[in-house]
Structure 1
């Protein structure tokens, strides 16, 4: 089962997106008011919430439609993947605070796996914990993205140049389907899908080194570099995605031709573009 944001009428109100719902829930937690209830000054206090409606989960007597069963151990991973996709897509806006229960509603899961996934994203630097409210999406800077691109280049450029000298030509052909996948995703303008295929291509290329630690470190840096700036950033337009995918195809052609001069120029240009 792949988790996706729900579009059901019992969650979305007319004219309100899941993002607005999550923000409202987080803001309400900060103010101490129930979600959707305007603040009233001069009152003694709020009426006590009925026991059956307290907490993060509200249960209704009306049975919910059956959902496909998911292995418990896979829920957190699926939620983490969904949130990472939302980060890349820009659905989770830098600087905004989101409530775990509201995000869970949008994914059709409880708040617990959302909190666990958000804690992982906090360790990665994508979000920060806001006590009694939820999680704020970290605001990125162009400088930070440039620094990530520089570190990636320091790791990947020498590795690719070494592989160009040592890997049999036939092995490079194995990467062509992955390069083709980046081109298809780019042509469709799907930034989240492109991010996945882009990382898959780079992982497969670096995996030829046989160094699993290197692959993991490089992939983590790559994923962090894909979180967008508030107003866009590298690879924010379809034309940028298409150009980036074309560099994959050109690099593979140079590797198959064993043209080390062109390989070096292309791989350096690839990371320079990521820093712009």
Structure 2
């Protein structure tokens, strides 16, 4: 895992990001469960690195809402409530609706589907959408999360505002972290996971804003209902 850059600060920054990514994946996979506590020393020993990049990575994840820092006990995986999930989904919807409006109505060349560069980017987004749908249909949650996050990252890049894209990515990671603790209890996830990524891409490329919003609204309603039911059980 150690970085390979010649500059020490670059190497440490790279290692910090690698550790943060690895721990985020552990949380999303359900291997680091909500409420799990650990120290900087434990993680440093696990990955065979010094404490400094580990501490920086854990602080980063705390800022993203995935961990909670305790001055005396180290860090703990954040426990999201169902109310948290509803709030995250609502915030996510507000961001995507605004983004969809711009994508559907802005005629500038850097968002025009007929622009060769935009068309190539859209093709990449669509490939990600197809992979996400295959994983959802198969009930493979780990693979779905990976492709779903990449799908929204690349779709957000089409919007052209990196700050908004980063905020949406953060919300989607948080919503998955919250959902995972409940979804992992289902023995078979087939039929429970959202699989309309390509429908959404097609609607946006047609500039069909009502359909795009309907697709997202239906997904939000179904996902919140599912998490509420699983939490109640």
**Does residue 239 in structure 1 map to residue 190 in structure 2?**
yes
**Does residue 141 in structure 1 map to residue 141 in structure 2?**
no
Query: What TM-score results when the alignment is normalised by the length of structure 1?
Result: 0.65
**Does residue 211 in structure 1 map to residue 161 in structure 2?**
yes
Aligned-pair Cα RMSD in Å: 2.8
- 8 Å CA contact retained: 2:35, 2:78: yes
Between the aligned partners of 1:230 and 1:165, the Cα distance in structure 2 is 35
How many residue pairs get matched? 208
- Matched residue SS, 2:80: coil
**Does residue 107 in structure 1 map to residue 51 in structure 2?**
no
Specify which of 93, 98, 115 is matched with residue 38 of structure 2. 98
- 8 Å CA contact retained: 1:90, 1:228: no
- Superposed structure 1 runs of 4+ greater than 4 Å apart: 187-190, 233-237
- Partner residue, 2:112: 168
- Partner residue, 2:97: 157
Runs of at least 5 residues in structure 1 that lack an aligned partner in the other structure? 4-67
Higher helix share goes to which structure? 2
- Partner residue, 1:20: none
- Partner residue, 2:228: none
**Does residue 248 in structure 1 map to residue 192 in structure 2?**
no
Between the aligned partners of 1:156 and 1:190, the Cα distance in structure 2 is 25
Runs of at least 5 residues in structure 2 that lack an aligned partner in the other structure? 6-10, 226-233
**Does residue 266 in structure 1 map to residue 210 in structure 2?**
no
Larger radius of gyration: 1
Between the aligned partners of 1:144 and 1:198, the Cα distance in structure 2 is 20
- Partner residue, 1:119: 59
Alignment of 1:1-150 (within 5 A): 3=1, 70-71=4-5, 72-73=11-12, 74-150=14-90
CA shift for structure 1 position 214: 1.3
Q: 1:93 to 1:163 in 2, by over 3 A?
A: same
- Partner residue, 1:228: 178
